[in-house]
Structure 1
Amino acid sequence: MKSFIPILLVSFLIPVSQLSAESPPAVEGHKAFMEGLREIKKDAIKFKGAESASNPRTLSPVVSRFKGWFIDITEKAKSGKLDGVDVVEGISLASKSRASSSWQFIETEKGYVVRAAGGKYNGWIIVIDDSAKTRPEGPNLTVTPALRLAKSATANSYWKPTLTKQGLVLEATSGKYKGWVWDFGGGDPSHEESGRQVAINVLLAEKVVAGSYFDVQASK
């Protein structure tokens, strides 16, 4: 038993941000789903390194009181800089779809970029701020409010989409939070913005949980 003690000690010394869960298992239709995102050829895409892109899509949680809400950006977004790039903090869930609820999946050799396809920040992309702090979300989960909307690519801009039985999971492919996945605070409050409810609660979670699954639909 003594020979195992150093190994156990090392495992406890590894920061939680470096411990990533395994990717979720893909459903049988995953390959067809990914092929369906290749709707626009690279010659028609204004993004460096793009190989293909989807038409605009919406992403909605499949559980909790936020089921059917839309990934969006709050009107109260906070401006800042990340890797010298203009960014805003405030990726949210909104109760009604607007132009800012549309997103485009852009395929690159590094992974997929998720780019805003409408609204004030049209053309900006969802990235990760490695300086964001972690916090507990209940007794068994660690999360971080690390998602930002950036005017151009930063060090950690790429995602691995996996279609599962429950919905689409988006997993970070690089950086401090590599392997972490999109999630949201299910108990977080919402407020009114221009005739709809908005919750500034979209996060990264250390492992796949109920809030990590999203329904993807063509934007209307």
Structure 2
Amino acid sequence: MKQILFFLIASFLTTVSQLFAESPPAVEGHKAFMEGLQEIQADALEFKGAKSASKSRTLSPVVSRFKGWFIDVTEKAKSSKLDEVDVVEGISLASKSRASSAWQFVETEKGYVVRSAGGKYKGWIIVIDDSAKTRPEGPNLTVTPALRLAKSATANSYWKPTLTKQGLVLEAMSGKYKGWVWDFGGGDPSHEESGRQVAVNVLLAEKVVAGSYFAVKAAE
């Protein structure tokens, strides 16, 4: 009886894990969107392994009080090391767009790199710190504050972008949090930095939720 119960529990957990890891369904315009990111060819890029890259884009949530805010990095970012690479912790949402709100999608054989296109950390890329701990976000979701901005590529630097009806979803392609997606803490507080509100609340979530969808626009 115990063996049967163990088998059923293991099967259930495997099914749930696979469900969480599934990519969201792409909208009909996904292919055209991806082709639209190939604006700069490899010979014009200073990024090892790059096949192409986009021009600068902004990414903004499409729901909650943070709707229309911009993926950015706080002025209070904390410095550390990850895989012997300089990183900062503090990827945020900002109420107003600045140079640091611009990002570039770089196509590689391993997936896409999301690279800062302006500001203090221009050229740095968004990576995952596998040592970050998880926490519950409400009763039905687990998240982790694992995103870092790194000076160069680390073990887990690559993303799978999927354009859906609701917006763009960015899914981790490797590491402990493979299959997890960008999200943000919808109830987290914000503070003022240089004339705008900033919330240090960008996360990875175990499955696609409302906060996983982002609007992508050309940076002004």
TM-score range, shorter chain: over 0.9
Alpha-carbon distance in 2 for matches of 1:32, 1:207: 25
Shift of 1:3: 7.2
- Say if 1:160 and 1:171, in contact at 8 Å, map to a contact too: yes
Hey, what does 2:114 align to over in structure 1? 114
Any runs of at least 4 consecutive aligned residues in structure 1 with deviations exceeding 3 A, and if so which?
1-4, 11-14, 16-20
Classify 1:113/1:119 alpha carbon distance in 2 versus 1 (closer, same or farther; 3 Å).
same
- 1:199 paired to 2:189: no
Which amino acid in the other structure matches residue 218 of structure 2? A
Map Cα deviations across residues 67-94 of structure 1 (whole Å, 9 max, x no partner). 0000000000000000000000000000
Give runs of aligned pairs for residues 44-123 of structure 1, distance below 5 A.
44-123=44-123
Question: Which runs of no fewer than 5 residues in structure 1 stay unpaired?
Answer: none
CA distance in 2 between counterparts of 1:37 and 1:190 reads 31
Following the alignment from structure 2 to structure 1, what is the Cα–Cα distance between the partners of residues 19 and 173? 13
Paired position in structure 1 for 2:135: 135
Shift of 1:21: 2.7
With the length of structure 2 as denominator, give the TM-score of the two structures.
0.95
Residues 74, 198 of structure 2: 8 Å contact kept: yes
Structure 2: which amino acid aligns with 1:34? M
- 2:43 maps to which residue? 43
For the aligned residue pairs, the C-alpha RMSD in angstroms reads: 1.8
Report what 2:153 is aligned to: 153
State the distance in 1 between where 2:31 and 2:175 align.
26
Contact 1:115 1:125 in 2 (8 A): yes
Q: Does the CA contact (< 8 Å) of 2:162 and 2:168 recur in 1?
A: yes
AA partner of residue 190 (structure 2): S
What is the one-letter code of the residue matched to 1:175?
G
Q: Which amino acid aligns with 1:42?
A: A
Residue 19 of structure 1 and its aligned partner are, at CA, apart by 7.6
Which residue is 1:7 aligned to?
7
Give the 3 Å change call, closer, same or farther, for CA 19–90 of structure 1 in structure 2.
farther
SS of residue paired to 2:31 = helix
Kept after mapping to 1: 8 A contact 2:21/2:178: no
The 1-side partners of 2:139 and 2:72 are apart by 28
C-alpha distance in 2 between matches for 1:147 and 1:188 = 16
State how far apart, in whole Å, the 2-side matches of 1:19 and 1:6 are.
Answer: 20
Matches within 5 A, 1:27-38: 27-38=27-38
Q: In 1, distance between residues paired with 2:215 and 2:141?
A: 22
Task: Give the 3-state SS of the residue equivalent to 1:74 in structure 2.
Answer: strand
Q: Which runs of 5+ in 2 are unaligned?
A: none
Instruction: Indicate conservation of the 8 Å contact 1:18/1:178, yes or no.
Output: no
Aligned-residue identity in percent: 86
Q: Distance in 2 between matches of 1:183 and 1:13?
A: 23
1:8-27 equivalences in 2 (<5 Å) = 8-11=8-11, 20-27=20-27
Contact 1:93 1:199 in 2 (8 A): yes
TM-superposed deviation, 1:17: 8.5
SS, match of residue 155 in structure 2: coil
Alignment of 1:158-169 (within 5 A): 158-169=158-169
